[in-house]
Structure 1
Amino acid sequence: MTKTAIVLFNLGGPDRPDSVRPFLFNLFNDPAIIGLPNPLRYLVAKLISGRRAPVAAEIYQHLGGGSPLLPNTVAQADALTDALSDLGEVKSFIAMRYWHPMTEETVRAVLDYAPDQVVLLPLYPQFSTTTTASSLKKWREEATKVGLSAPTHIVGCYPRADGYIRSVAQLTKAAMAQITAGKPRILFSAHGLPKKVVEKGDPYQWQVEQSAARVVAAMDVPDLDWVVCYQSRVGPLEWIGPSTDQEIRRAGQDGVPLVVCPIAFVSEHSETLVEIELEYRHLAEESGVPAFIRVPTPGDDPLFIESLAKSVRDVLARPAGIWSDEGNKLCPAQFGRCMCQAG
């Protein structure tokens, strides 16, 4: 019987108050996040994590002192294992980039499992050099160290995957149904990136826009008012826009209710449960927005899990390597940082 290891990549999050600062250090010490050479990057990461830790700790206090991301990801991994029972012996693992279980721990666990094949499945529907590429780079480094050499199939991105799109569309329509104060505007809010990252060929923004457009089409609501925007800006660099807070203020000026869909997040964590649910809701109230509804993330919704399972099956039918879920390179030529192979 074939043994298949499925590895779910995610960002990770602090699990208790005293892990907030080391989590932030790991984040900012990643060269995909701060592109400075060491030891300068190390020193900058120490400085930023020290300054941001108290603010971040307050954010996580709203979540009971730690991030819910790991238990949410465990639920997704368990559901995915069940959905892939037809493949033979399947075991799902979780590799977090910046907090436990971290990549090096997971690589050793997969090595001990001794699979015949490995599937790497980022829980980032849209590819970015700052997320998927960083996780892949770390995985390859750690796998090389321990001699993990099983054939490895990689789902590079799935921004237009049918089950993912239908799951988000259904959740968004359900949120819209809660609005009684007039016709709402949908904000498809994604985590932002510095503009220079996109200008260097990162396809993330293009893929986010593809996802949002597909969700709108799947919702099939006449004359839907919607916009893609970006949240979580940090630092002095110019970021891609429009920003979510700008769009919330504009909605207040226009007097329209808001439904905020976290289009690039598939698990609940601080950006959805605190930044959107608490901080943006407060901004909406201050700005005169007549109603504000947050759309939940797909989580372990059966539509989304079956979509992930299909991506796994499809990528296993192709040669080892990195593929989009559609089996070809999705991104236009100007996005040279896209890593997916051509079909």
Structure 2
Amino acid sequence: MSEPMSAAPQASAMKPVDHPSIRSGRIGVLLMNLGTPEGTSYRPMRAYLKEFLSDRRVIEEPRWKWWPILNLIVLTTRPGRKGKDYASIWNNERDEGPLKTITRSQTEKLAARLAPELGDRVVFDWAMRYGLPDVKSRLAALLAQGCDRILLVPLYPQYAAPTSATACDQAFRALMTMRWQPSVRVAPPYFEDPAHIKALADSMRGSLAKLDFDPEVILCSFHGMPKEYLLKGDPYYCQCVKTWRLLGEELGFSAERFRLTFQSRFGPDEWLQPYTDETVKALASSGTKSMAIVAPGFSADCLETLEELDGENREIFLHNGGEKFAYLPCLNDTPEGIDTIESVVRRELMGWL
């Protein structure tokens, strides 16, 4: 007769393993913006542009078509030209682009404002979709500090696949490599958030009050995108229009004085219209003597606002008959700017705190 099968091992035979290095119980808040090159010379500019323009969320052309254009033409000619543009706005003291300087400051000021109430339960950090600090390393840093819940905050008021979505894509790619994934929330776009509209209006009132003239026309300029993306279902255009309408109503401006335009087009395809630069030229040529531009689609000033709007479009206006021009700064790390981010963060942390 065979021996009876031995009993299964007792569960208690498996002793728990203590991992003192694994921390948990805290909440992380990661502010994410587009990115900036590490320098203005050819090599760092090329590296930045290659990462940015290789993103299939940004350029949706077929790879077989876009690869030779990018590598044989764009990355040969564009780094030098864009490097000069970046050099004109570069933060020489910190040796970095202004977007990095401002995003860091936004994070620090938000943390300082909320620290008396939240203590060390919430950890604030920031990252760039392209360039440094990268999203993966900052998520790892939050996990190392015991954050098992993380709120991702794309700093784009209006949602777009080439901005909000690709920032989240990068975070999700990092999460796919983690054994212990944190619980994650993504803050939605805040294009119509009353706190954001009020912050924009208050900021504009303050900037306009500092001018020595009253602009005849104010352009509300948003970053453009190919019209094809709108036709494919991207909500960006509609959200820009909503921001423009709500902001105009808050300020009491007529549609004739407060006009919607789109900037920064790239390549031969049709983009969202009307174009900012063409509108500026037409206004100056038709007799408008004073104007201002504001960019409520950007949470922080960057190349597209400081060099393109305040530089290129200023020249277009003045060279075509205009006399007085002003660029009204983004919310940046001003109290109004931190008000907006705080409103979004507080709302999205409900239930976790």
TM range (shorter): 0.7 to 0.9
Q: Aligned partner of 2:51: which letter?
A: N
User: 34, 41, 52: which one pairs with 1:27?
Assistant: 52
State how 1:26-65 maps to structure 2 within 5 Å: 26-36=51-61, 38=63, 41-47=66-72, 48-64=74-90
- Percent of residue pairs identical: 25
Query: Which whole-Å deviations, capped at 9, do the CAs of 1:35-56 have from their partners, x for residues lacking one?
Result: 2455665544323232211110
For residue 245 of structure 1, what is the aligned residue in structure 2?
277
CA distance in 1, matches of 2:248, 2:323: 22
Structure 1: state its 5+ residue gaps: 320-343
CA distance in 2, matches of 1:224, 1:171: 21
Displacement after TM superposition at 1:215 (Å): 1.5
Displacement after TM superposition at 1:304 (Å): 2.5
CA distance in 2, matches of 1:166, 1:148: 40
Query: Which whole-Å deviations, capped at 9, do the CAs of 1:226-265 have from their partners, x for residues lacking one?
Result: 1110111110110001000111012211424111001111
Q: Does 1:78 align with 2:108?
A: yes
Q: Does 1:293 align with 2:316?
A: no
Q: Aligned partner of 1:67: which letter?
A: G
User: 105, 108, 116: which one pairs with 2:140?
Assistant: 108
Query: Which whole-Å deviations, capped at 9, do the CAs of 1:300-328 have from their partners, x for residues lacking one?
Result: 12233122222122122269xxxxxxxxx
User: 206, 212, 225: which one pairs with 1:174?
Assistant: 206
For residue 96 of structure 1, what is the aligned residue in structure 2?
128
RMSD: 2.2
User: 20, 27, 49: which one pairs with 1:4?
Assistant: 27
CA distance in 2, matches of 1:75, 1:176: 24
TM-score relative to the length of structure 1: 0.86
8 A contact 1:132–1:156 mirrored in 2: no
Structure with bigger gyration radius: 2
The structure-2 alpha-carbon separation of the partners of 1:256 and 1:209, relative to structure 1 and needing over 3 Å to count, comes to: farther
Moved over 6 A (4+): none
Query: Which whole-Å deviations, capped at 9, do the CAs of 1:172-208 have from their partners, x for residues lacking one?
Result: 2233335555552110011100000011111111111
The structure-2 alpha-carbon separation of the partners of 1:105 and 1:223, relative to structure 1 and needing over 3 Å to count, comes to: closer
Structure 2: state its 5+ residue gaps: 1-23
State how 1:126-275 maps to structure 2 within 5 Å: 126-180=158-212, 183-221=215-253, 225-252=257-284, 253-275=286-308
CA distance in 1, matches of 2:333, 2:32: 15
CA distance in 2, matches of 1:35, 1:315: 31
8 A contact 1:126–1:208 mirrored in 2: yes
The structure-2 alpha-carbon separation of the partners of 1:3 and 1:221, relative to structure 1 and needing over 3 Å to count, comes to: same
CA distance in 1, matches of 2:156, 2:52: 16
Query: When the two structures are aligned, how many residues end up with a matched partner?
Result: 319
For residue 328 of structure 1, what is the aligned residue in structure 2?
none
CA distance in 2, matches of 1:151, 1:96: 21
The structure-2 alpha-carbon separation of the partners of 1:91 and 1:42, relative to structure 1 and needing over 3 Å to count, comes to: farther
TM-score relative to the length of structure 2: 0.84
